[in-house]
Amino acid sequence: MKLAIIQFNIRPGDIAANEAKVAALVQQAAAKGAQAVVLPELWNCGYALKDLVTLAQSSRGTSISLLKKLAKKHGLFVFGGSIAELKDGRYYNTQIVINAEGSVISKYRKIHLFSLGLQEDEYFTPGQEWVLSDTPWGQAGLMLCYDLRFPELARNLALRGARLLVVPAQWPAARLAHWQILAQARALENQVFVIAVNRFGEDTSGVYNGHSLVVSPWGDILLDAAQEELSLVDIDMSLVDEARSKLPVLEERRRILDEIDDSQL
Protein backbone atom coordinates (compact mmCIF):
# COMPACT_ATOMS: atom_id res chain seq x y z
CA MET A 1 0.00 0.00 0.00
CA LYS A 2 1.51 3.31 -1.08
CA LEU A 3 0.03 5.93 1.20
CA ALA A 4 0.18 9.72 0.87
CA ILE A 5 0.00 11.88 3.99
CA ILE A 6 -1.26 15.41 3.38
CA GLN A 7 -0.13 17.74 6.15
CA PHE A 8 -0.69 21.43 5.48
CA ASN A 9 -1.43 24.83 6.99
CA ILE A 10 -5.21 25.05 7.13
CA ARG A 11 -6.71 28.52 6.72
CA PRO A 12 -9.56 28.84 9.27
CA GLY A 13 -12.85 29.72 7.66
CA ASP A 14 -11.47 29.84 4.11
CA ILE A 15 -13.05 26.80 2.52
CA ALA A 16 -12.20 27.79 -1.06
CA ALA A 17 -8.48 28.20 -0.29
CA ASN A 18 -8.29 24.93 1.63
CA GLU A 19 -10.11 23.05 -1.13
CA ALA A 20 -7.72 24.44 -3.74
CA LYS A 21 -4.72 23.39 -1.62
CA VAL A 22 -6.03 19.87 -1.17
CA ALA A 23 -6.86 19.49 -4.86
CA ALA A 24 -3.29 20.39 -5.78
CA LEU A 25 -1.75 18.08 -3.18
CA VAL A 26 -3.95 15.13 -4.13
CA GLN A 27 -2.95 15.59 -7.75
CA GLN A 28 0.71 15.52 -6.69
CA ALA A 29 0.10 12.38 -4.65
CA ALA A 30 -1.51 10.63 -7.60
CA ALA A 31 1.39 11.63 -9.88
CA LYS A 32 3.78 10.01 -7.39
CA GLY A 33 1.90 6.73 -7.44
CA ALA A 34 -0.12 6.95 -4.24
CA GLN A 35 -2.98 4.47 -3.85
CA ALA A 36 -4.58 6.25 -0.90
CA VAL A 37 -4.38 9.68 0.71
CA VAL A 38 -5.17 10.87 4.23
CA LEU A 39 -6.14 14.45 5.16
CA PRO A 40 -6.07 16.16 8.59
CA GLU A 41 -9.02 16.93 10.83
CA LEU A 42 -11.34 19.78 9.76
CA TRP A 43 -9.13 20.33 6.73
CA ASN A 44 -11.66 22.51 4.92
CA CYS A 45 -12.49 25.07 7.62
CA GLY A 46 -10.19 24.64 10.62
CA TYR A 47 -11.39 25.34 14.12
CA ALA A 48 -13.46 28.41 13.22
CA LEU A 49 -16.26 26.92 15.27
CA LYS A 50 -18.04 30.19 15.95
CA ASP A 51 -18.77 30.36 12.22
CA LEU A 52 -20.23 26.88 11.80
CA VAL A 53 -23.55 28.34 10.70
CA THR A 54 -21.87 29.40 7.45
CA LEU A 55 -19.04 26.84 7.27
CA ALA A 56 -20.73 23.52 8.04
CA GLN A 57 -21.78 21.45 5.03
CA SER A 58 -24.07 18.57 4.25
CA SER A 59 -22.88 15.46 2.43
CA ARG A 60 -23.70 17.30 -0.81
CA GLY A 61 -21.47 20.26 0.01
CA THR A 62 -18.48 21.42 -1.99
CA SER A 63 -15.82 19.70 0.13
CA ILE A 64 -17.15 16.15 -0.07
CA SER A 65 -18.05 16.69 -3.71
CA LEU A 66 -14.44 17.73 -4.38
CA LEU A 67 -13.03 14.65 -2.63
CA LYS A 68 -15.35 12.36 -4.58
CA LYS A 69 -14.26 13.98 -7.84
CA LEU A 70 -10.57 13.69 -6.96
CA ALA A 71 -10.88 10.07 -5.87
CA LYS A 72 -12.60 9.06 -9.09
CA LYS A 73 -10.33 11.10 -11.34
CA HIS A 74 -7.12 9.70 -9.89
CA GLY A 75 -8.35 6.25 -8.85
CA LEU A 76 -7.44 6.90 -5.21
CA PHE A 77 -8.87 5.86 -1.88
CA VAL A 78 -9.40 9.06 0.12
CA PHE A 79 -9.51 9.14 3.90
CA GLY A 80 -10.99 12.61 3.89
CA GLY A 81 -9.83 13.87 7.26
CA SER A 82 -12.95 15.46 8.65
CA ILE A 83 -15.31 18.30 7.88
CA ALA A 84 -17.83 20.20 9.96
CA GLU A 85 -20.99 18.36 8.94
CA LEU A 86 -24.52 19.72 9.18
CA LYS A 87 -27.00 16.90 9.68
CA ASP A 88 -30.61 17.26 10.85
CA GLY A 89 -29.93 20.65 12.38
CA ARG A 90 -26.86 19.50 14.33
CA TYR A 91 -23.14 19.90 13.76
CA TYR A 92 -20.73 16.96 13.78
CA ASN A 93 -16.98 16.60 13.35
CA THR A 94 -17.21 13.93 10.65
CA GLN A 95 -14.57 11.80 8.97
CA ILE A 96 -15.35 10.68 5.41
CA VAL A 97 -13.94 7.71 3.49
CA ILE A 98 -14.27 7.63 -0.31
CA ASN A 99 -13.32 4.71 -2.52
CA ALA A 100 -11.43 4.83 -5.82
CA GLU A 101 -14.73 4.98 -7.73
CA GLY A 102 -15.61 8.23 -6.02
CA SER A 103 -18.30 6.88 -3.68
CA VAL A 104 -18.60 7.69 0.02
CA ILE A 105 -18.36 4.34 1.78
CA SER A 106 -18.02 5.38 5.44
CA LYS A 107 -18.72 8.24 7.81
CA TYR A 108 -17.49 8.51 11.37
CA ARG A 109 -18.73 11.25 13.68
CA LYS A 110 -16.21 12.07 16.41
CA ILE A 111 -17.20 10.46 19.69
CA HIS A 112 -14.81 12.19 22.11
CA LEU A 113 -15.09 15.97 21.86
CA PHE A 114 -12.27 18.08 23.31
CA SER A 115 -13.78 20.37 25.95
CA LEU A 116 -10.63 22.32 26.86
CA GLY A 117 -9.42 25.23 24.77
CA LEU A 118 -11.21 24.38 21.54
CA GLN A 119 -14.50 23.74 23.38
CA GLU A 120 -15.69 21.28 20.75
CA ASP A 121 -18.42 20.06 23.06
CA GLU A 122 -20.12 23.46 22.91
CA TYR A 123 -20.45 23.34 19.12
CA PHE A 124 -20.47 19.72 17.97
CA THR A 125 -22.76 16.84 18.84
CA PRO A 126 -20.79 13.71 19.81
CA GLY A 127 -21.07 10.68 17.56
CA GLN A 128 -22.61 7.50 18.94
CA GLU A 129 -21.12 4.75 16.76
CA TRP A 130 -17.70 3.25 16.06
CA VAL A 131 -16.97 2.77 12.37
CA LEU A 132 -14.98 0.24 10.37
CA SER A 133 -14.36 0.94 6.70
CA ASP A 134 -13.63 -1.78 4.14
CA THR A 135 -10.56 -1.05 2.02
CA PRO A 136 -8.47 -3.11 -0.42
CA TRP A 137 -5.86 -3.40 2.36
CA GLY A 138 -8.16 -4.61 5.11
CA GLN A 139 -10.57 -2.95 7.48
CA ALA A 140 -9.71 0.54 8.68
CA GLY A 141 -10.90 1.74 12.08
CA LEU A 142 -11.81 5.42 12.07
CA MET A 143 -10.86 7.82 14.87
CA LEU A 144 -10.31 11.58 15.22
CA CYS A 145 -7.65 13.42 17.24
CA TYR A 146 -8.77 13.36 20.92
CA ASP A 147 -10.07 9.80 20.38
CA LEU A 148 -6.42 8.71 20.46
CA ARG A 149 -6.43 9.15 24.24
CA PHE A 150 -9.17 6.55 24.72
CA PRO A 151 -7.72 3.03 24.39
CA GLU A 152 -11.09 1.29 24.57
CA LEU A 153 -12.16 2.78 21.23
CA ALA A 154 -9.02 1.56 19.47
CA ARG A 155 -9.28 -1.89 21.12
CA ASN A 156 -12.95 -2.15 20.16
CA LEU A 157 -12.06 -1.47 16.52
CA ALA A 158 -9.16 -3.93 16.54
CA LEU A 159 -11.25 -6.73 18.06
CA ARG A 160 -13.81 -6.23 15.31
CA GLY A 161 -11.29 -6.57 12.54
CA ALA A 162 -9.37 -3.31 12.10
CA ARG A 163 -5.91 -3.77 10.63
CA LEU A 164 -5.16 -0.07 10.56
CA LEU A 165 -6.41 2.91 12.54
CA VAL A 166 -6.78 6.19 10.66
CA VAL A 167 -6.56 9.20 12.98
CA PRO A 168 -6.81 12.66 11.36
CA ALA A 169 -6.06 15.39 13.89
CA GLN A 170 -5.28 18.95 14.82
CA TRP A 171 -2.93 18.07 17.68
CA PRO A 172 -1.20 21.04 19.36
CA ALA A 173 2.57 21.42 19.49
CA ALA A 174 2.43 21.79 23.28
CA ARG A 175 1.45 18.11 23.66
CA LEU A 176 3.47 16.66 20.80
CA ALA A 177 5.19 14.11 23.07
CA HIS A 178 1.78 12.69 23.99
CA TRP A 179 0.91 12.41 20.29
CA GLN A 180 3.85 10.14 19.57
CA ILE A 181 3.50 8.04 22.73
CA LEU A 182 -0.23 7.49 22.22
CA ALA A 183 0.11 6.64 18.52
CA GLN A 184 2.80 4.07 19.29
CA ALA A 185 0.80 2.67 22.21
CA ARG A 186 -2.38 2.22 20.16
CA ALA A 187 -0.35 0.48 17.42
CA LEU A 188 1.53 -1.82 19.81
CA GLU A 189 -1.34 -2.84 22.06
CA ASN A 190 -3.68 -3.59 19.13
CA GLN A 191 -1.07 -4.80 16.61
CA VAL A 192 -2.32 -2.51 13.87
CA PHE A 193 -0.90 0.25 11.71
CA VAL A 194 -1.71 3.70 13.06
CA ILE A 195 -1.96 6.47 10.48
CA ALA A 196 -2.07 9.69 12.52
CA VAL A 197 -2.24 12.79 10.31
CA ASN A 198 -1.79 16.20 11.91
CA ARG A 199 -2.00 19.73 10.53
CA PHE A 200 0.80 22.27 10.28
CA GLY A 201 0.75 25.98 11.03
CA GLU A 202 -0.56 28.49 13.54
CA ASP A 203 -3.81 30.39 14.04
CA THR A 204 -5.98 31.64 16.88
CA SER A 205 -6.84 28.07 17.89
CA GLY A 206 -3.21 27.15 18.56
CA VAL A 207 0.19 26.15 17.20
CA TYR A 208 0.46 22.93 15.21
CA ASN A 209 3.81 21.59 14.05
CA GLY A 210 2.74 18.54 12.12
CA HIS A 211 4.73 15.40 12.83
CA SER A 212 2.13 13.20 11.16
CA LEU A 213 3.00 9.62 12.01
CA VAL A 214 2.78 6.19 10.45
CA VAL A 215 3.41 3.53 13.09
CA SER A 216 3.79 -0.19 12.42
CA PRO A 217 2.11 -2.98 14.43
CA TRP A 218 5.48 -3.41 16.18
CA GLY A 219 5.43 0.22 17.31
CA ASP A 220 8.10 1.34 14.85
CA ILE A 221 7.72 4.86 13.44
CA LEU A 222 7.86 4.51 9.66
CA LEU A 223 7.13 8.17 8.96
CA ASP A 224 7.42 11.36 11.01
CA ALA A 225 6.56 14.34 8.80
CA ALA A 226 8.18 17.40 10.35
CA GLN A 227 7.26 20.17 7.90
CA GLU A 228 4.32 21.24 5.79
CA GLU A 229 4.56 18.71 3.02
CA LEU A 230 3.22 15.80 1.05
CA SER A 231 4.78 12.57 2.33
CA LEU A 232 4.58 9.09 0.84
CA VAL A 233 5.22 5.83 2.62
CA ASP A 234 4.96 2.17 1.61
CA ILE A 235 3.08 0.00 4.08
CA ASP A 236 3.44 -3.78 4.22
CA MET A 237 0.12 -4.99 5.63
CA SER A 238 1.56 -8.48 6.18
CA LEU A 239 3.23 -7.03 9.28
CA VAL A 240 -0.15 -7.15 11.02
CA ASP A 241 -0.34 -10.94 10.65
CA GLU A 242 3.33 -11.27 11.56
CA ALA A 243 2.93 -9.33 14.80
CA ARG A 244 -0.23 -11.17 15.80
CA SER A 245 1.23 -14.61 15.14
CA LYS A 246 4.55 -13.98 16.89
CA LEU A 247 2.99 -12.20 19.87
CA PRO A 248 -0.67 -13.31 20.14
CA VAL A 249 -1.82 -10.79 22.74
CA LEU A 250 -5.25 -10.25 21.19
CA GLU A 251 -5.84 -13.99 21.04
CA GLU A 252 -4.72 -14.52 24.65
CA ARG A 253 -6.67 -11.61 26.10
CA ARG A 254 -8.73 -12.79 29.09
CA ARG A 255 -12.35 -12.08 28.21
CA ILE A 256 -13.34 -12.17 31.87
CA LEU A 257 -12.18 -8.56 31.96
CA ASP A 258 -15.07 -7.63 29.64
CA GLU A 259 -17.50 -8.60 32.39
CA ILE A 260 -16.17 -6.34 35.13
CA ASP A 261 -18.81 -3.95 36.45
CA ASP A 262 -17.22 -0.49 36.49
CA SER A 263 -19.60 0.60 39.27
CA GLN A 264 -17.90 -1.85 41.65
CA LEU A 265 -14.39 -0.49 41.07
> 21, 68, 107, 110: which one is catalytic?
110
**Using CA atoms, how far apart are residues 93 and 143, in angstroms rounded to an integer?**
11
Residues in contact with 60: Cβ distance below 8 Å, sequence separation at least 6, in sequence order: none
80 half-sphere exposure, CB direction, 13 A CA radius: 35
> 19, 21, 41, 45: which one is catalytic?
41
Q: Is residue 145 flagged as an active site residue?
A: yes
User: N- to C-terminal Cα distance for the chain?
Assistant: 44
> 19, 45, 85, 145: which one is catalytic?
145
Q: Is residue 19 flagged as an active site residue?
A: no
Rg (CA), the chain: 18
Q: Is residue 246 flagged as an active site residue?
A: no
**Using CA atoms, how far apart are residues 75 and 147, in angstroms rounded to an integer?**
29
* Beta-bridge mates of residue 77: 36
Catalytic residues: 41, 110, 145
